[in-house]
Every structure is written in structure tokens, then in C-alpha cells.
Amino acid sequence: MSLVTTHVLDTARGTPAAGVPVRLDARDDGWSTIAAATTDDDGRVRELGPDSLPAGVYRLVFDIEAYAGPDCFLPEITVTFRITDPSAHHHVPVLLSPFSYSTYRGS
């Protein structure tokens, strides 16, 4: 299992957000992409990047425009987070609505 996973739920539609491109980046001197995937029919990315990552700062970049269309208010969502325990699983879901989103560390 990947160390980092995600789940996108479309709260306006009341359904999982299938087909959202997601990128995992690591911060060093700048940002570098580690992995990319697309949410499945359940709005999940179960395999995103390696099964281990060193402690550090990472970000998930969600291409909402690819999912919601060119007129969406939030064309991209970036969630930046820190991994302090490289042995722990990090599940970072997004609850999406047309004009806002929320995120948290899931299990």
C-alpha cells in the first residue's frame, strides 16, 4: 500500500468525485513530482507513490478543472502537509463543493 492515499467527495452532488487527476509532490530545493494518478469510481486513489517516503514536506495537487469543467471556481486545490513519521500511513481526503473545500488527515 502507498504511504499516501486520498479520497475526493463531491458534497454538492453527494457522490465520490471520479476522474480527478492527483499529483504527489515533494519539497526539497523546489517541488518535484513523485507520482500521479486519477481518482477511481469511488473517488479514491489507493496507490499514489511509493510505500515509504522520508520525513519532509509534501503536497497533493488536485486538478479540479478536469473534473468540474472550465468554469469551476476552484480549478486546482493544493494540500500541503508534513510527514514526520515515515512508517505511518497518510490518508489526505478532500471534501469538495463548488466554492470551497475542506481536508483533514484521515485513517
- Mark the binding-site residues for substrate, compressed into ranges: 7, 44, 104
What lies within 8 Å, CB to CB, of 52 at 6+ separation is 3, 86, 87
Annotated binding site: 7, 44, 104
Instruction: Give the CA diameter of the chain.
Output: 40
